[in-house]
Structure 1
Amino acid sequence: MTKPIFSNNSNKIAMLAIGSLLLVLMLMTRGNHFMSSVNLPSASIAVFFLAGLYLSRISAFWFFYITSIVIDLSVSYSKGDFGSCITNTYPLLAFSYGAVFYAGRLLSVSVATGLSTTLALKTLLVLFIGTSVAFVISNGSYYWFSGNYVEPNWQEYTERFAKYYPSYILRPLYYVVPALLIHWTFSTIRIKQQIDAIKIK
């Protein structure tokens, strides 16, 4: 039977390290708020997906959600403009991020013991579905209910959907794909070590 990538003794340390890396990613890329010299795609969707995949606890979701709120409020306050970011639909971001967190959480048990090529592809498919749901919630609610559009209509929304959806789907891949490659490498090494140990016995 394949053993988990992280043993019981190192599990807490590994989760702390992953959580810290995800936090740094969010701080560095959420609108480039704190580091003007860094111009990276927003990692927020990837952070919630990977948090669901590797941390899985609901407390992890709330930690990153509250962090995102603090970042947005801090930046809006520093700019003196809350209108463009904080609207009456802002609370619905909880459902948007919750969709991708839940998507990652669905596979958390499967990836705990290793990451095969098939499972990696399945993970990317689940990411695509979760991100699509997140986009419909965040983009759709902002367009239809924020009050920033005088006469919302399906034609304009369709145009906005076609304009923003591709980049929204692609952004998480910049972070999730490298994470899966690292995970796959550790899985391969771990399995090889187990096979070698069996041969020695």
Structure 2
Amino acid sequence: MDNTDLAKGATVVVVGSGAGGATAFRTLALAGVDVLLLEEGSDSSSPLGYHGRLSDLTARLYRQGGLTPVMGTPPFAFGEGRTLGGTTEINGGLFWRTPEWVLDDWSSRGGLGHLSPTLLEPVFADLERDLRSGPTRTLDGYDKDSELLTHGARSLGWNVVEAQRVVPDCSRSNQCGSGCATGAKQSMAMTYIPEGVRAGGRV
């Protein structure tokens, strides 16, 4: 987008292109709203954009190079995406439905009683379909550590649940944290942002 496009303004401006911003952008664009999506970082969504030295990718894709401090006991570094697609570009693609106990907590403490599991069921189902969420596939020769952990946990009687991810064609390149170099991860830059643009939204 150039400055001329920005000067045109928009009915709605969405700031940030991560999971929340991209979803709002797509939803508004599909509804015919004149919507503009703003992102501080660059567009690296082509798989070629995720090749290079890890130090260079981290500096380009993460806010403050991935070292945003969160003060507490103990303090820790917080990784936040600064690229088109936000943190969905640099995470592992894990996708879990909000647990009912969390919704109950939001209802009791936050006055969000309308966000019931029944209301959100079709929303979660739509997201899972759109982003191709599913259990992580096991590949021979790649997941021995997971096999050992699963065997050990089950031998102790622990419940084992397969991770739900939005990486249906994962090739196990192990580069999730620096952008999916194969394009398998269904990040916002690969899914909802292009859909919003096709519907008339601007980035």
Q: Same fold (TM over 0.5)?
A: no
The TM-score by the shorter chain falls in which range? Answer: under 0.3
Give the TM-score normalised by structure 2: 0.26
Q: TM-score, normalised by structure 1?
A: 0.26
Larger RCO, structures 1/2 (Cα 8 Å, 6+ apart): 2
Bigger helix share: 1
Larger strand share, 1 or 2: 2
